[in-house]
Structure 1
């Protein structure tokens, strides 16, 4: 199962995504592909728009962690969109992706 967590302090300050959906075998897992696409697309957009210095990012197999170092309104819009996308995927595939409360 994929678990995700979003930390907010007025705006999103951190996003963590970890795990594997196990919806289908490797290479055919549409849930994992959707989550990977959403996270990497968001990070690539932020990087290309010049926000790389505002972020601390770690990506590895089955893990994505993004921490906002310097909040910015536009950066916040993109992260809000990522949160909305992950939530919609959770609604569609509740057995394979879940919001995880911190603690």
Structure 2
């Protein structure tokens, strides 16, 4: 199962995604592919928008961790979009992706 956690007060300070959906076998797993695409697209967009020093990102097999150093409205919009995408995927595939709440 993929688990994701979004940490925020007034703005998003971090997004962590980990695990594998196991929806289908490797190479055919549309849930993993969708999550991977959303996370990498978001990180790449932030870099292309010139926010490289405003966040850190770690990407490994089955793991994505983005931490905000300095927020701004445009960076926040990208992260809100990522959060909403993960929520939509969770609604469509509730057995394979879950929001991990604090505590």
**What's the TM-score once normalised by structure 2's chain length?**
0.98
Number of residue pairs aligned between Structure 1 and Structure 2: 103
What SS does the corresponding residue of 2:59 show, helix, strand or coil? strand
Q: Which residue of 2 aligns with 1:28?
A: 28
Structure 2: gaps (5+ residues): none
| Equivalent-residue separation in structure 2 for 1:23 and 1:49 (angstroms) | 33
**Where does residue 6 of structure 2 map in the other structure?**
6
Task: Tell me which residue corresponds to 1:19.
Answer: 19
| Residues 14-54 of structure 1: CA deviation (Å, up to 9, x unaligned) | 00000000000000000000000000000000001111100
Where does structure 1 differ by over 3 angstroms across 4 or more consecutive aligned residues? none
Superposition TM-score, scaled by structure 1 size: 0.98
Q: Corresponding residue for 1:38?
A: 38
Aligned-pair Cα RMSD in Å: 0.5
Shift of 1:56: 1.1
Which sections of structure 1, spanning at least 5 residues, go unmatched?
Answer: none
